[in-house]
């Protein structure tokens, strides 16, 4: 029995002389491949409720509450004041153009729309995005980066 076990365990290690296969390639080397870490990602474009979160150099999302309006607004920052439409907030190298029901955020080649119905509030260096979709509400709070408080400009 032991001899049979030794033979069975050693079978995969032996090969027949006719089983040896060789291959050779005469392919021409292609162009040098760039490392992915050095490639620049394509610019962000489109409509997204998470648009501000896509630009962490300007907006750092601290919290999100979604659900009924009462639940979503339960931890709404005290003293927050509405950002009126027609205002451009300048945060670091980002701009946020607040419209009546939506907003456009731009940083370099990135251009994203915060879809309707979006309302913005500010409390110090905290920006609040309150999005309403039917009976569902989504409240996100962001810390604003850039070293100085956001600057309010009238849109051009």
Q: Compute CA 21 distance to the chain's CA centroid, rounded to the nearest angstrom.
A: 49
Which ranges of the chain would DSSP assign to H, the alpha helix? 2-10, 69-72
> Each residue of 64-123: pLDDT tens digit?
999 999 999 998 888 999 999 999 999 989 999 999 999 999 999 999 999 999 999 999
This prediction has a pTM of 0.69
Q: Give the pLDDT confidence score for residue 26 in this predicted structure.
A: 60
Average pLDDT over residues 3-32: 50
Q: Give the pLDDT confidence score for residue 1 in this predicted structure.
A: 47
| CA-wise closest residue to 58 among 123, 134, 151 | 151
Cα–Cα distance measured from residue 45 to residue 52, given in angstroms and rounded to the nearest whole number: 12
- At residue 14, does pLDDT exceed 90? no
Q: Give the pLDDT confidence score for residue 42 in this predicted structure.
A: 83
Considering the chain, what is the average pLDDT of its residues? 80
């Amino acid at each position: 029995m032991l001899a049979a076990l030794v033979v069975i365990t050693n079978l995969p290690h032996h090969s027949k002389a006719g089983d040896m296969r060789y291959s050779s390639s005469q392919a021409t080397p292609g162009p040098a491949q760039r490392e992915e870490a050095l490639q620049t990602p394509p610019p962000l474009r489109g409509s997204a409720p998470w648009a501000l979160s896509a630009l962490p150099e300007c907006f750092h999302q601290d919290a999100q509450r979604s659900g009924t309006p009462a639940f979503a607004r339960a931890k709404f920052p005290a003293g927050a004041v509405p950002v009126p439409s027609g205002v451009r907030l300048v945060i670091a190298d980002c701009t946020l153009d607040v419209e009546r029901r939506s907003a456009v955020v731009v940083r370099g080649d990135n251009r994203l729309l915060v879809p309707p119905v979006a309302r913005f509030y500010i409390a110090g260096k905290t920006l609040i995005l309150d999005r309403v979709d039917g009976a569902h509400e989504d409240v996100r709070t962001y810390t604003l980066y850039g070293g100085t408080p956001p600057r309010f400009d009238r849109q051009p």
